[in-house]
């Protein structure tokens, strides 16, 4: 297993900002995605999961990273392991989940512990437990303590049954917008900096990151823009 010095983790912050992210005003530090933070005066890192000292290290690593994502440091679940959304009003189809959304699901589907990484820092605190997001009550589940009642455990845990979640990993193009009749063309403004295609799609597909910015908690829950009066929803949907 590759080890790295703590000081090298600092490098990853600058490197990540140089990559083509949608970075806004907020910061991951002390957000719910900062697994080094102490929530409600109780330190989870080093107790409920390994403490890697840096919030970046749970997903990213500056050296020996995976090509699955930007300097990626986590294993990914299988793309074909999911039950996807379907309805008679859906004009698109998804056969498997794209890597872009699997990055998020590597934590949020509850099959992989939140501290499961490809390369651990040289100086980290080993925990006796390795929690994963889940609504079961086994000892390795966040729900063994939180019991669906706080910190948005139920909302954030998606499982591998995505049949009741907004579809992802489908091609969103002009043909789909025309066929549907209630979707804006991807050349329309996103209300952020450019078009829907430029600001919200990944390789022409709608993914988790189309609506969520993992690094910015400014608009809960990590939305790319406010959803007041459904303005995020109506960026794409004509209602």
Span 46-91, pLDDT tens digits: 999 999 999 999 999 999 999 999 999 999 999 999 999 999 989 9
Average pLDDT, the chain: 88
Span 146-193, pLDDT tens digits: 765 555 666 789 999 999 999 999 999 999 999 999 999 999 999 999
Mean pLDDT of 113-139: 92
Mean pLDDT of 215-233: 97
C-alpha distance from residue 15 to each of 40, 48, 123 (Å): 31, 29, 21
Using CB atoms within 10 Å of the CB of residue 230, give its burial: 0 to 12 exposed, 13 to 18 middle, 19+ buried: exposed
Three-state DSSP at 218 gives: coil
More confident residue, 19 or 231: 231
Span 7-46, pLDDT tens digits: 554 444 454 444 444 444 578 999 989 999 876 667 788 9
What are residue 154's phi and psi, to 5 degrees? -65, -45
């Amino acid at each position: 297993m590759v080890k790295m010095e703590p000081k090298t983790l600092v490098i990853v912050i600058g490197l990540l900002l140089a990559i083509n992210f949608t970075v806004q005003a907020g910061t991951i530090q002390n957000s719910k995605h900062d697994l080094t933070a102490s929530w409600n005066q109780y330190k989870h890192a080093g107790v409920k999961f390994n403490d890697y000292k840096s919030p970046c290290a749970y997903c990213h690593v500056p050296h020996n990273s995976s090509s699955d994502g930007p300097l990626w440091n986590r294993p990914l679940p299988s793309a074909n392991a999911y039950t996807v959304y379907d309805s008679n009003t859906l004009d698109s189809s998804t056969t498997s989940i794209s890597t872009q959304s699997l990055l998020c699901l590597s934590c949020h589907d509850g099959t992989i512990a939140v501290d499961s990484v490809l390369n651990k820092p040289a100086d980290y605190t080993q925990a006796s437990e390795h929690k994963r997001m889940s609504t079961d009550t086994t000892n390795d589940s966040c729900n063994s303590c939180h019991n669906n009642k706080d910190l948005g455990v139920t909302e954030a845990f998606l499982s591998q049954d995505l049949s009741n979640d907004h579809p992802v990993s489908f091609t969103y193009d002009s043909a789909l917008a025309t066929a549907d009749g209630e979707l804006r063309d991807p050349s329309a403004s996103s209300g952020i900096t450019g078009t829907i295609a430029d600001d919200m799609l990944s390789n022409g597909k709608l993914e988790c990151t189309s609506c969520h910015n993992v690094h910015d908690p400014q608009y809960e829950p990590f939305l790319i823009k406010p959803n007041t009066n459904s303005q995020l929803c109506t960026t794409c949907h004509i209602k």
